Amino acid sequence: MLRLTIPPGMPPAPPGNWLSGTASAFSRDPVAYINRYSPVYAPVWTMMARLRKVVLLNDPVWVKYVLAENNKNYTKSFGYDLLRPLLGNGLLTSEGEFWMSQRRLMQPAFHKQAILTFVEVMLEEGQRCAERFRQAADRGETLNISAEMSRVTMVIVSRCLLGMLVPGDLDRISASLELANRDANHRIQHPFALPMKVPTPGNLKVRRALAELDRTINGIIADRRRSGERGTDLLSMLLEARDADTGEAMSDRQLRDEIATIFIAGHETTANALSWTLYALATNPEVEQKLCSEIDAAGAGAADPAGLPYVRLVARESLRLYPPAWIVGREPIADDTIAGYTIPAGTSVLMPTVCIQRNPEFWPDPLAFKPERHEEERVKDLPKYAYFPFGGGPRICIGINFAWMELFLLLPLLMQGLRYRTVSNAAPALEHLITLHPRGGMMLKPERR
Ligand code: HEM
């Protein structure tokens, strides 16, 4: 077997063939790949990934170093470039000064106080969804919970952050996003896929979806500009924003990118979190029982998450075991040193949240769903980045408060008078797309309880 040689000083590499290195094993099953090599090579090793230099960083201390302590020397990794056709230069994908000014501009819409204004919408949509589930339970239906959660979280994000959308817009955006998102996922897993500009039937379909997405979002922006209506939502904030130096308003193109970013980043992650939580409850009867007792004692429509401590622990445990953003990537701008090894500029540094959050050193019996392990007394001595479902440092998820609030509010509603049962004994396989998906969707049967 021909082997690639790694530049001197770089972290060691497991053996692999010269064409695919060990990248194909990683693409097939990243968790199995990391668990296989981590005992030998952790905290950091080089993954031979075709022509690209990639290192795996599987240690909370060094994750903290990259994301927070030395963040100024890092940009986002190449994986994020694949999202550019969809997200353009929005908050998730932009860099440097430009990113910072956009972040500053958007931050107020996500502050704890601002988020409180969204409670009503979240409760309303959660109740509507739970009612649909109760009707499905009466008909004995099995539901694709992933699709249901995707729908409800998308409605919430669009109502809260962009003002109300007419249902037709939502369906069109949803269909286009789905297609473009699948394409980005495909490109992450198949780095030799033909570039978008090559007019293959598949590429043409994605280009049409992106054009449709642009048309729809541009229509929303034009309507708002025309009507002059402003509220407290994010879109109003973006429309009112003026450049500190030039006094210019944000371009339509930039508005489109920020809106597409909020749509994608703000609904797929929470949808996944809710789907996996309902699955975890369906397969852990004791936890389900304890949670339902708390919810039932609080009474119908309990809207105060502070009064439901176990709901919080369940949500935290769900994001530990099934972190929707299962991996985070960065690239050093200048050569860096990690754990005594040289990390040349431009090397992708991948930090697998899902593996660190399942490391038995920090989380005993890591595959078990045990909400109690998040009680303050038990987590206070853990390294900070043993749990980082929202990333960290300056680029920590801007929607973190929004997401927690949504999970804390929706979970009790979805369990009110309901429980869920699996339809197969096999656990859903993890599909490591941009977010952590249950392969083939999450099929669950709601039942009245
Ligand atoms: C359970 C739900 C969520 C999870 C697990 C999650 C996770 C993450 C993570 C890990 C990052 C950092 C990525 C990196 O450093 O490379 C991130 C960034 C981001 N998230 Fe979230 N997210 C969630 C919900 C949301 C929501 C609800 C919104 C918006 C409404 C949102 C919007 C964003 C945006 C715009 C960024 C980019 C921030 C920046 O770079 O300044 N996310 N998210």
pLDDT in tens, 100-113: 999 998 898 888 88
> Which is higher by pLDDT, 332 or 424?
332
What is the residue with the minimal CA distance to atom 41 of ligand 1? 395
pLDDT in tens, 348-398: 999 999 999 999 999 999 999 999 999 999 999 999 999 999 999 999 999
Q: How confident is the model at residue 195 (pLDDT cuts 50, 70, 90)?
A: confident
**Is there an atom of ligand 1 within 6 Å of 389 CB?**
yes
Q: Is the pLDDT of residue 115 over 60?
A: yes
**Is there an atom of ligand 1 within 6 Å of 413 CB?**
no
pLDDT at 103: 93
Q: How confident is the model at residue 294 (pLDDT cuts 50, 70, 90)?
A: very high
Architecture of the domain whose range is 59-448: Orthogonal Bundle (1.10)
SS3 assignment, position 341: strand
Q: How confident is the model at residue 347 (pLDDT cuts 50, 70, 90)?
A: very high
Q: How confident is the model at residue 142 (pLDDT cuts 50, 70, 90)?
A: very high
Instruction: Tell me how far apart the alpha carbons of residues 316 and 321 are, in angstroms, rounded to a whole number.
Output: 9
Of the ranges 24-28, 88-92, 177-181, 428-432, which is most confident?
A: 88-92
Instruction: Tell me how far apart the alpha carbons of residues 3 and 157 are, in angstroms, rounded to a whole number.
Output: 48
What is the residue with the minimal CA distance to atom 1 of ligand 1? 270
Q: How far is the CA of 24 from the centre of ligand 1 (A)?
A: 27
Give the count of beta carbons closer than 10 Å to the beta carbon of residue 174: 18
What is the residue with the minimal CA distance to atom 29 of ligand 1? 266
> Which is higher by pLDDT, 76 or 7?
76
pLDDT at 85: 83
118-150 as b/e: b if 16+ CB within 10 A: bbebbbebbbebbeebeebbeeeeebebbebbb
Q: What is the mean pLDDT of the chain?
A: 89
Q: How far is the CA of 437 from the centre of ligand 1 (A)?
A: 16
pLDDT at 209: 87
What is the residue with the minimal CA distance to atom 9 of ligand 1? 390
Segment 241-269 shows an average pLDDT of: 87
> Which is higher by pLDDT, 52 or 334?
334
**Is there an atom of ligand 1 within 6 Å of 87 CB?**
no
**Is there an atom of ligand 1 within 6 Å of 273 CB?**
yes
pLDDT at 30: 85
pLDDT at 1: 46
Instruction: Tell me how far apart the alpha carbons of residues 319 and 357 are, in angstroms, rounded to a whole number.
Output: 9
Question: For ligand 1, what atom is nearest to the CA of residue 103?
Answer: 41
